Amino acid sequence: MQIVFMLALALHVMSGVFWAGSTFVLARTGDGRQAISLFGPQMGAATAAVLSGAVLWHLFHGTGYFGPQEQVLAVGAIAAITAAGVQGALVGRARRSQSHTGETGVEQAIRGQRIATGLLAITVITMAIARVV
C-alpha cells in the first residue's frame, strides 16, 4: 500500500502543479492563443490530478468518517472539478471553434482560465489547511 500511496501522491502533486501553475500563468498573461494550445495538456493534468486525488481519498479518508478535514478537502475537490468543467466549457469551446474564432474565442479562453484560477486557488488553499482544521 505504501508504494500505491507514494505513486498516487507523486502523480497528484506533479499533475496538480502543472495544471494550477499553467492556469495561473495563462490567466495572468492573458494569452488566449496559448490557453487554447495548452488545453489538451491542461485537461490531461486535470484528469490525472482528480483521479489520483480520488485514490488518495480512498486510501486515507474512505472509512465513512466525514470530519472537518474531509469537509475542507471536499470543498477543494469540488472547486477543482468545477475548474476543470469551466476550462472544458470555455477554453474547450474556443478550441473547437478555433478555425472560426476571432477575438471572442480568445477572450472566452482567457475568461475560462481566470475563473479556473480562482477555483484552483481555493483547491490549493484547502489542501494546505486541511491538516490543521
Q: What is the pLDDT of residues 15-51, one digit of tens each?
A: 999 999 999 999 999 988 899 999 999 999 999 999 9
In degrees to the nearest 10, what's the CA dihedral of 98, 34, 22, 40?
40
pLDDT at 99 over 70: no
**Residue 14 three-state SS:** helix
**Residue 25 three-state SS:** helix
Q: How confident is the model at residue 103 (pLDDT cuts 50, 70, 90)?
A: low
Q: Is the pTM for the entire model greater than 0.85?
A: yes
Residue 76 contacts residue 122 (beta carbons within 8 Å): yes
- For the chain, the residue count is 133
- Looking at residue 110, its pLDDT comes to 95
Q: How many CB atoms lie within 10 A of CB 34?
A: 17
pLDDT at 116 over 80: yes
